[in-house]
Structure 1
Amino acid sequence: MKITLSNDSIKKLDTAVEISIVLDLENVNKYDKEILDDLNFKAKDEEVVFLVESKKIYVGCEEESYDAIAIAISAAMKKFNSTKYKDAKVEIFGEEKDTLKALVEGAILGSYTFEKYKSKKEKELKKELIVCCKVSKELEEILEQSTHIANSVNKVRNFVNTTPQDFYPEIMAKEAKKVAKENDIICKIQGEEFLEKNGMNAMLSVARASVHEPKLIHMAYKPKDPVRKVVLVGKGLTYDSGGLSLKPADFMVTMKSDKSGGCAVIGILNAVAKLNLPIEVHGIIGAVENMIGGDAYKPDDVLVAKNGKTIEVRNTDAEGRLVLADCLCYAQDKIKDFDYIFDYATLTGACVVGVGEYTTGIMGNNTVLKRDAVCNALSSGEYATTLPFNRFLRKTIKSEIADICNIANTRYGGAITAGLFLDNFIYDENKDKWLHFDIAGPAFVEKAWGYNPHGASGAGVRMTVEFLKNLL
């Protein structure tokens, strides 16, 4: 999908198809309005009609917001991509900068398809969308930036959608190296021996029963004279069977998506490097497979994490927090004087129950930081909300035989108790710099929603890039 800007008016520009985003039917020409009325077309989200005779795609848009515009152009592009026509035009409207960002990202994200495993693939036609506007350097920069961001999201979608037999820890490490090489990012990969030597026994235990060696991936984007330093930590469970606390069969399907947090970190690094942001960004990913076997870690085991804390295992399906615990400690031991440390994980089904499939739950100790993260998420097009810590839920993860349990003694507040577990591995001096992003809901949904397809959405990339851009 190629997107370009043109100074030509939409009437003068010659393309095969014209896309008209309809906020109000009164602005549609009389002839087409009569046809649209006959077709019972409404200016509502995702309503789209292609009038072949006039070569016009009409798509409803309920308001001039990022989300509504991105959903509208996404619906229009799906209709356009189903035709053999090669180019289409659309006119910018409203607040040009905001509208262009929504148009570009909505078009690229909405055009995404994943056909890797189809025996008969659709022939991909080269398509172009031309945006009619008063071209300026600022709009050209928005086009370039939004293209990089959307392409990074689609890269994450490809990673997450890839099946576990084709995407295990070693492959995740190779993909991280590819992104690093393309963007002049430092990338170091460590294996089992390093984990054992550095006391990362929690992560190592989760990986024990898999034939695939765990990989600790450390990516570092280091521009000249950075104004900030940020650390991102991702859960990279390339597959999660639940371990000996085996998941039910229907819950095991889609568990290729348990690597979404780690994939998001790779995608964020890719976007940051493409945008040349003057911020030093480190990405730490724990790439592991949680399987069953004679050497599997067990409920009742007590594990010693990298910071020396002991963890009573009461459920081997609460494994992501064990991997993150060691990765968070590694990040804080290895990287000094950072401004923020964020972690990303498809951590709990409880978060999905609490806030729905489409929303990220953000947790931490710093109320202002949580608020800023939510605001940046919403302005980027992602849905997010905060979940509050409290002293009473903190007591539910205490252990009688170790320092802490990996699950709470109550079924309620599971997303928060998982966040409180991670808080035990954030050093005191970093408590106010840390946020936990539970992306279990939006990371992978088995039905299309808005400009997101069936499967992976690339959750976490846009909200974090928006946060980083606003640090400047």
Structure 2
Amino acid sequence: MAKPTFQLPARGASPDLELAKKAPKNADVYLVPVFKGEEGLELPASALLDDAALRTVLETLTAVGATGKADEITRVPAPEKVAADSIVAVGLGDSEDVTHETVRRAAGAAARSLTGVGTAVTTVGDFGLGPAVEGVALGAYQFRGIRSEEPTADALPVEKVIFLGDTKAAKDEFVTAQITAESVLLARDLVNTPASHLYPEAYAGILAAAGRDAGLDVEVLDEDALEKEGFGGILAVGRGSARPPRLVRLSWSPRKAKTSVALVGKGITFDTGGISLKPAAKMEDMISDMGGSAAVAATIIAAARLNLPVKVTATLPLAENMPSGTATRPGDVITHYGGLTSEIINTDAEGRLVLADALARASEDDPDYLVETATLTGAQMVALGARTAGVMGTDEFRDRVAGTGRSVGEPAWAMPLLEEQAEELKSPVADIRNSHNSRNAGMLFAGLYLSKFIHEDIEWAHVDIAGPSFNTGGVSGYTVKRATGVPVRTFVTLLRELAEQK
């Protein structure tokens, strides 16, 4: 009997991106950057506009009240003899304060405003090509889901954005940014997909197909293999669901690799809390509880597409946490992969159970570095808010990962593992317990729990993205509603740096 094939039921829409030396003969929009100067609006020289057109556009923008403040969007008709229908100016703020993140956010805001546009040509990349490419791709992204009617043309994102630049000197920066952005969009698509269509078996099939297409080695363990090999944490979480768990391993092993990195990501395709049932309000957002695994899968695919000379292995535990007559109960004791036992205090602290197995398995490969991410604790949002990830781990590497996140516009903050919580981790009936029954430092307790499954000589970091992974607020810059794709850009940048490390 042939194995079923799985694919995503819907994909997000985003523009085609192109790097060109000069603008096409006709375009719908010229997208240009402007600054907020001390004496008013400033419009820098542009390859899209000659001196006369530049003066006309500046006068028109000033007349309609454009100020150049960051992320401000102003649209005006194009002057005569300009090969575009309209000019869209996007503010970058004070020219002396412009950073890559300024450009990324402005490009995202501008791209989102271009719905219904066919072709836009832009010089925003003059102030940071890579950030501009990422901002446009991420900001224009739309995910409509599964609908019976097609959208009208004026509701769709801009079809194509052409970045002006040196096609030889800037090609590597353009391609790297494009692949990175496309990887973020893959993670967004996965997270936005409802659990009716993305459950462990289907998710494993989708990841396996995407991995093979990218040239990765793929291994998928079903429930029988998990039982045989002793993955007690994954099985404990998955046994309450009629849709059994999976473990997916994706590997990128280039010949010249001198550094090895293990990536691990939580893949709970839907989280009801199990027997420790969550409140009904906003439970629909729990389709996002596999955000860590989506980010990790997208990262290793990016590593392969970028041909990074670093060995990367992704270990992705996939399960659905459901209450039923076969579900794990509070008070049960389970045996994790590797032999450590855990008392279950709260079945809604399930992510750390599947991650424990995955971390123990990833540690067996003896990587130089291990990076794991998960939508793990509500305590992360209590401590750091909805946009800043908490990072725990070995001190130096933890700080490096957090710093990398901040450098690419994915805010992260280093957090400690508390010595005093070691006592709270103890159980009267098992080696450790999965919850400490306290409101205090829940994010840090989860990190301490995970640390018990990582070999002592491995540099590691745990990144809690409970808030940053899924935006339930309004849009801003290149951050859209729902799935954000965090922390794909952090991880891709980290792998690029580790690949270059001597």
Contact 1:15/1:89, CA 8 A, preserved across alignment: no
Contact 1:359/1:383, CA 8 A, preserved across alignment: yes
Matched, 1:391 2:419: yes
Q: Which amino acid aligns with 2:35?
A: L
Q: Distance in 1 between matches of 2:488 and 2:379?
A: 22
Change (3 A) 1:287 1:46: same
Contact 2:336/2:342, CA 8 A, preserved across alignment: yes
Equivalent position of 2:385 in the other structure: 356
Deviation at 1:172, TM superposition (A): 1.0
Which residue, 287, 302, 307 being the options, matches 2:338? 307
Q: Distance in 1 between matches of 2:343 and 2:63?
A: 66
Q: Which amino acid aligns with 2:483?
A: A
Which residue, 429, 441, 446 being the options, matches 1:413? 441
Contact 1:233/1:285, CA 8 A, preserved across alignment: yes
SS at 2:296 equivalent: helix
Deviation at 1:127, TM superposition (A): 2.5
Instruction: Identify unmatched segments of 5+ residues in structure 2.
Output: 1-14, 44-53, 80-85
- 1:65-121 Cα distance to aligned partner (Å, 9 max, x none): 1221111111111222x2344232325434xxxx00111110111111111323323
Which residue, 56, 64, 67 being the options, matches 2:98? 64
Contact 2:359/2:453, CA 8 A, preserved across alignment: yes
Equivalent position of 1:78 in the other structure: 112
Instruction: Identify unmatched segments of 5+ residues in structure 1.
Output: none
Equivalent position of 2:468 in the other structure: 442
- 1:143-200 Cα distance to aligned partner (Å, 9 max, x none): 1111111001001100000000000001111111111221111101001112212221
Equivalent position of 1:44 in the other structure: 69
Q: Distance in 2 between matches of 1:206 and 1:223?
A: 34
Which residue, 267, 292, 302 being the options, matches 1:236? 267
Q: Which amino acid aligns with 1:413?
A: A
Deviation at 1:216, TM superposition (A): 0.5
Equivalent position of 1:344 in the other structure: 373
Matched, 1:267 2:294: no
Change (3 A) 1:91 1:15: farther
After TM superposition, the structure 1 = structure 2 runs for residues 454-469 of structure 1, keeping only pairs within 5 Å, are: 454-469=481-496
Change (3 A) 1:410 1:181: same
Equivalent position of 2:452 in the other structure: 424
Q: Distance in 1 between matches of 2:190 and 2:162?
A: 29
Change (3 A) 1:143 1:399: same
Task: Give identity over the alignment, percent.
Answer: 33
Deviation at 1:292, TM superposition (A): 0.7
Deviation at 1:331, TM superposition (A): 1.6
- The two structures, once aligned, show a CA RMSD in angstroms of 1.9
Q: Distance in 2 between matches of 1:126 and 1:58?
A: 16
Q: Which moves more between the two structures, 85-94 or 67-76?
A: 85-94
After TM superposition, the structure 1 = structure 2 runs for residues 185-204 of structure 1, keeping only pairs within 5 Å, are: 185-204=216-235
Q: Distance in 1 between matches of 2:164 and 2:268?
A: 44
Which residue, 238, 242, 251 being the options, matches 1:211? 242
Q: Distance in 1 between matches of 2:77 and 2:197?
A: 42
Matched, 1:5 2:19: yes
Equivalent position of 1:103 in the other structure: 132
Contact 1:50/1:79, CA 8 A, preserved across alignment: no
Change (3 A) 1:298 1:89: same
Contact 1:286/1:327, CA 8 A, preserved across alignment: yes
Change (3 A) 1:396 1:45: farther
Deviation at 1:217, TM superposition (A): 0.4
Contact 1:397/1:409, CA 8 A, preserved across alignment: no
SS at 1:391 equivalent: coil
Change (3 A) 1:125 1:416: closer
Equivalent position of 2:120 in the other structure: 87
Q: Which amino acid aligns with 2:42?
A: N
Q: Distance in 2 between matches of 1:201 and 1:330?
A: 12
Q: Distance in 1 between matches of 2:342 and 2:436?
A: 12
Q: Which amino acid aligns with 1:280?
A: K
Q: Give the TM-score taking structure 1 as reference length.
A: 0.93
- 1:293-329 Cα distance to aligned partner (Å, 9 max, x none): 1111111111121222221111100000000001111
Contact 1:115/1:121, CA 8 A, preserved across alignment: no
After TM superposition, the structure 1 = structure 2 runs for residues 25-174 of structure 1, keeping only pairs within 5 Å, are: 25-28=40-43, 32-33=57-58, 35-37=60-62, 39-52=64-77, 54=79, 55-62=86-93, 63-80=97-114, 82-94=115-127, 99-122=128-151, 123=153, 127-133=159-165, 135=166, 137-174=168-205
Contact 1:271/1:465, CA 8 A, preserved across alignment: yes
Equivalent position of 2:51 in the other structure: none
Q: Which amino acid aligns with 1:455?
A: R
- 1:202-234 Cα distance to aligned partner (Å, 9 max, x none): 211111110111001011111112121111111
SS at 1:204 equivalent: helix
Deviation at 1:360, TM superposition (A): 1.2
Q: Which moves more between the two structures, 314-323 or 251-260?
A: 251-260
Q: Which moves more between the two structures, 84-93 or 15-24?
A: 84-93
Equivalent position of 1:400 in the other structure: 428
Which residue, 294, 310, 315 being the options, matches 1:279? 310
